[in-house]
Amino acid sequence: MSHNPLRLLLDFDDRIQRDRDQAPAFLHRRDRRFALDCQEQGANPDAAGWLQHMDRLSGPGGTRQTGRYIQRRWRRITGGFALAGAMLGSLTMAGLLFYDGGQRINITVLLGFVLLQLLLALATTVQSIVGWQPWTWLQRWLERRLQLQSPGPTLAQLQPVLMARAAHTGGSLFALTGLMTLLVMLVVQDLAFGWSTTLDTAAQGYHGLIRAIAIPWTWLWPAAVPSQELIEATRFFRAAPFGAGTAPQQWGQWWPFVSMLWLTWVLLPRLVLLAFSQWLIGYKATRLLQRHPGRKALLYRMETPTLDTGNQHNDAGDLPDTHTRASPGELTDAGHIICWAGAGEPELPLQLLATETRVFKAGGRIALSEDDQLVATLAKALAGAASPVVTLVTRSWEPPTGELHDFLEQARSQWPRNSRVMILPLATDANQPPAIHLIQPWLRFTERLPEGFATVVLLPSFIDNPYQTGTPQP
């Protein structure tokens, strides 16, 4: 298990979300057993070790590397920013240094552009610290168009710093290729620099501004600080393209200052802020993991001894009661049927086939994008119904999964508020009632959903069944 803070947080959050559908008593016994094993080995039970333990329990093929997947996705996003920044940096510098032999390259314009780049870099860092996401509207539009799954609450808190790192990566490549383009053009062209402004600015005041900007490299490269004489000699006006008595070589003596200006105030700030954003991601991920509600519950389960009631033998007659207060209802007509994770194969019960309903498939091997499309399709179909009802067919011998819980949560957020889902667990023989002990997990599953949204139902032909009469089934 990687100890990268970001990947550790994402993997931990994914595992906690998957544990939501497990019984609290089971989670308590499992995590308490892990804590006792760590105590025997003299190890400190932490999140990384717990995830490794869970991976071993999952067995081959049961490990989900959610953190690695999300990191790869953001690497692709960062790579796109880097490529765009490299291309724009070269093109922008070529535009700033365009020289046709008549008009000089204005140093004042370069100063203004450098100031703009510095402000953009600082604004990117500030928005990542305060958590502002000005691109939210674009993200939501892409999610709708590409049918992408919205990020969870944990990842949503990290998106500002992840986007800042991508932006600083693009900005760093922008500055680097811009500097390389500047050096190449200094070699292949005879560039003429000068300064001019519409405002009434004296050469002495402009020299003070230049000296202030050049303070960081004055000790390193004194020749890169223009002198008072150079500034006075290279000022140009609209009516006089060339100053009288100005030697031609003086127009090119600005290049050391321009090079150090770009290196010091564009490239170096981007590199420093890029390193800061990388550190900020690890820091914020560590803080979010420490404050994660699932971590607090995990520590409580590890520290609290378990209490088992009843006889320890499996054949005892006084085992704890696992029944729920809810009981299955009777299936009513619904205009839409969803077969979840292959349920109803090879065929649905005859009573369902007799009704004129539309049958859909979701879950299991069906892609998530198709599940999202099905939720949107049914949202439109149920919009005009007075009592919108959907039948969800499942396999009774397969316990409810977190994927089904997420599917129903998404459906509840998009379907009409009075929508109702009837969960129909089927036995191996779809025309026979399922066993009592297979129905109990589904009843507990519906109790964890919002009240009134989902209920467990049986076919009308099973009305005289043990669930209604209360007699046990052998």
CATH number for the domain including 454? 3.40.50
Does residue 30 fall inside a structural domain?
A: no
Per-residue pLDDT averaged across 275-279, rounded? 95
Does residue 336 share a domain with residue 244? Answer: no
Model pLDDT for residues 124-169, shown as the tens digit of each residue: 999 989 887 776 766 666 556 655 556 778 888 888 899 999 999 9
**Do 193 and 234 touch, CB atoms closer than 8 A?**
yes
Last residue in a domain, options 228, 252, 283:
283
What tokens were used for 53? 């333990």
CA–CA separation, 236 and 86 (whole Å): 33
Per-residue pLDDT averaged across 270-288, rounded? 94
Does residue 394 fall inside a structural domain?
A: yes
Last residue in a domain, options 248, 283, 318:
283
Query: How many folded domains does the chain comprise?
Result: 2
Does residue 9 fall inside a structural domain?
A: no
Does residue 376 share a domain with residue 243? Answer: no
Point out the least confidently predicted range of 46-55, 305-314, 328-337, 395-404: 305-314
Does residue 103 fall inside a structural domain?
A: yes
The CA angle 192-196-199, to the nearest 5 degrees, is 175
Does residue 261 share a domain with residue 153? Answer: yes
Does residue 441 share a domain with residue 357? Answer: yes
> Which amino acid, residue 183?
L
Q: Return the beta strands (E) in 383-474 as ranges.
A: 389-395, 420-426, 454-458
pTM of the model: 0.62
Does residue 278 fall inside a structural domain?
A: yes
Does residue 204 fall inside a structural domain?
A: yes
Residues of the chain with pLDDT > 70, as a percent, come to: 82
Per-residue pLDDT averaged across 237-263, rounded? 72
Pairing of strands 420-426, 454-458: parallel
* Residue 383 confidence (pLDDT) above 80: yes
Residues of the chain with pLDDT > 90, as a percent, come to: 23
**How high does pLDDT run on average in the chain?**
82
Model pLDDT for residues 449-469, shown as the tens digit of each residue: 888 888 888 887 765 544 443
Last residue in a domain, options 268, 283, 298:
283
Does residue 321 fall inside a structural domain?
A: no
Provide the β-strand partners of residue 423.
392, 456
Does residue 337 share a domain with residue 211? Answer: no
Does residue 31 fall inside a structural domain?
A: no
CA–CA separation, 311 and 53 (whole Å): 29
Does residue 229 share a domain with residue 118? Answer: yes
Does residue 343 share a domain with residue 204? Answer: no
**Ramachandran quadrant class, 147 (left: phi over 0; alpha: psi -120 to 50; beta: rest):** left
Structure-model confidence comparison of residues 132 and 116, the more confident one: 116
